[in-house]
Amino acid sequence: MTTLPAEKLRCFYPPIAPHAHDLLDVGEGHHIYWEECGNPAGKPVIFLHGGPGAGCNENHRRLFDPRRYRVVLFDQRGCGRSIPHAHLEANTTWHLVDDIERLRILLNIERWQVFGGSWGSTLALAYAQAHPQRVTELIVRGIFTSRQKELDWFYQHGASMIFPEVWQGFIAPVAEAERGDLMSAYHRLLHADDQVIRLEAAQAWSTWEGHAISLLPNPDFVAEFSEAHHALAIARIENHYFVNKSFFAPDQLLLNAGKLHNIPGIIVQGRYDVICPPQTAWELHQAWPQSELIIVPDAGHSVTEPGILDQLIRATDRFADC
């Protein structure tokens, strides 16, 4: 695959506002924010954001042709506009899978396309394997399956060799004696009684991700991930999920990929994705041979990488009239 000239790359559809939005009481103290955009009579699609804990933003609406798609987005438990903020109780992958089904039933949708990137790809795969009869197509990018080797790569070793100077900021809140298990050390810090300690740890955790998300340095990402409100949700929720292996059995998503046999799918992956390296996307494609794997040769992790965005728009356009 070759890099396309910039003038031929597809980009976001124009900005669009939701025509419906609300908070859905999903029980156990959680209320999730959801919104609907585009054509109410169009092809239904649900967008699953990353993190876990990142929330949706306005650009996520713009990945789909608003004339042809009925676009549903929601902020997962504890983040974005959902309440309570950064709340971890009754917050697991399987609670989120159930929330997706609640939204589908609420909106009277029989089947829909499922779109997710990064952690959103994890959740998309988990949902599709649990409810394959409800999924028309899968579009996933920046593949993450929450295996120990993937977590160790970004939070213990591996990525530190690519960003050694940034890594110093990530390990700074952790006592040197505890750095052999950074995930557990951060779990203690993010649950500390002292609010200052919690926030310092959250910002260090989230800022590390903000530095690594794009192929080239992007100070806007670093600023967004460093902001206190955002950092607290993403750090606490990510760490909560990751110390629990995202509530999966070992290799669960790859071992159960046969359940996707009848679902058309496109996998979009940046060649130089430091957060979710291409090995996992390749392994998913091998386990799900009906999928199409597209490796973008000059991209990192972010959905806004020009080549990744181009391929995602092409994918949603391709499936729009199916």
Q: Is the domain of 112 the same as that of 171? A: no
Do 181 and 217 belong together in one domain?
A: yes
For residue range 85-118, what is the model confidence (pLDDT) as tens digits?
A: 999 999 999 999 999 999 999 999 999 999 999 9
At 5 the pLDDT is 53
The pLDDT tens digits of the residues spanning 231-253 come to: 999 999 999 999 999 999 999 99
Q: Is 273 noted as a catalytic residue in this protein? A: yes
- Do 137 and 72 share a domain, yes or no? yes
Residue 237 and residue 173 in one domain: yes
Q: Which residues, 6 or more positions from 114, have their beta carbon under 8 angstroms from its beta carbon?
A: 45, 46, 48, 124, 127, 128, 135, 137, 138, 139
Single out the residue in 221, 246, 271 at which a domain terminates.
Answer: 246
Query: What does the pLDDT look like over 155-214, one tens digit per residue?
Result: 999 999 999 999 999 999 999 999 999 999 999 999 999 999 999 999 999 999 999 999
- Dump pLDDT digits (tens) for 37-70: 999 999 999 999 999 999 999 999 999 999 999 9
Beta strand 265-270 pairing with 43-48: unpaired
Q: Are residues 241 and 299 in the same domain?
A: no
| Side chain identity, residue 76 | Q
CATH number at residue 127: 3.40.50.1820
Mean pLDDT of the residues in the chain:
96
Predicted pLDDT of residue 322: 83
- Both 138 and 154 in one domain: the answer is no
- Domain end (from 217, 246, 275): 246
Integer Cα distance of 156 and 151 in angstroms:
7
**Number of structural domains found in the chain:** 2
Looking at the structure, do residues 253 and 112 belong to the same domain, yes or no? yes
Among 210, 229, 246, identify where a domain stops.
246
Distance (Å, whole) CA 299 – CA 290: 24
Q: Rounded distance, CA 195 to CA 215, Å?
A: 33
Number of helices (H) and strands (E) in the chain: give both, helices first. Answer: 11, 8
pLDDT band, residue 6 (cuts 50/70/90):
low
Asked if 214 contacts 305 with a C-beta cutoff of 8 angstroms, the reply is yes
The closest alpha carbon to 51, from 82, 22, 25, 27, belongs to 82
For residue 93, is it within any domain?
Answer: yes
Residue 1 lies in a domain: no
Q: Which two tokens stand for residue 125?
A: 């795969």
pLDDT score at 2: 39
277 is a domain residue: yes
Q: Which domain holds residue 97?
A: 6-147+247-319
Q: Is residue 301 part of a domain?
A: yes
Tell me the average pLDDT across 116-143. Answer: 98
108 assigned to some structural domain: yes
Q: DSSP 3-state assignment of 96?
A: helix
215 and 141 in a single domain? The answer is no
Distance CA 12, CA 16 (A): 11
Degrees to nearest 5, angle at CA 20 with 53 and 88: 20
Catalytic residue among 75, 99, 273, 310: 273
Look at residue 4 and tell me whether its pLDDT is greater than 70.
no
**Could you say which of 118, 121, 206, 246 is catalytic?**
118
DSSP 8-state class, residue 75: P
- Mean pLDDT (whole number) for 129-145: 98
Average pLDDT, integer, range 119-128: 98
Active site includes 131? no
Query: 134 and 161, same structural domain?
Result: no
Q: Is the pLDDT of residue 274 over 90?
A: yes
User: Which residue among the candidates 49, 65, 301, 302 is catalytic per the annotation?
Assistant: 301
Handedness of CA 141, 146, 151, 152 (dihedral sign): negative
**At 241, which helix (H) or strand (E)?**
helix 228-243
> Is the separation of the CB atoms in 145 and 280 below 8 Å?
yes
What pLDDT, on the 0 to 100 scale, is given for residue 228?
A: 94
Q: Mark whether 123 and 251 lie in a shared domain.
A: yes
Q: Which two tokens stand for residue 127?
A: 């949902």
Inform me whether the pLDDT recorded for 321 exceeds 90: no
Spatial distance between the Cα atoms of 171 and 156, rounded to a whole number of angstroms = 10
| Bond into 164 cis (ω within 30) | no
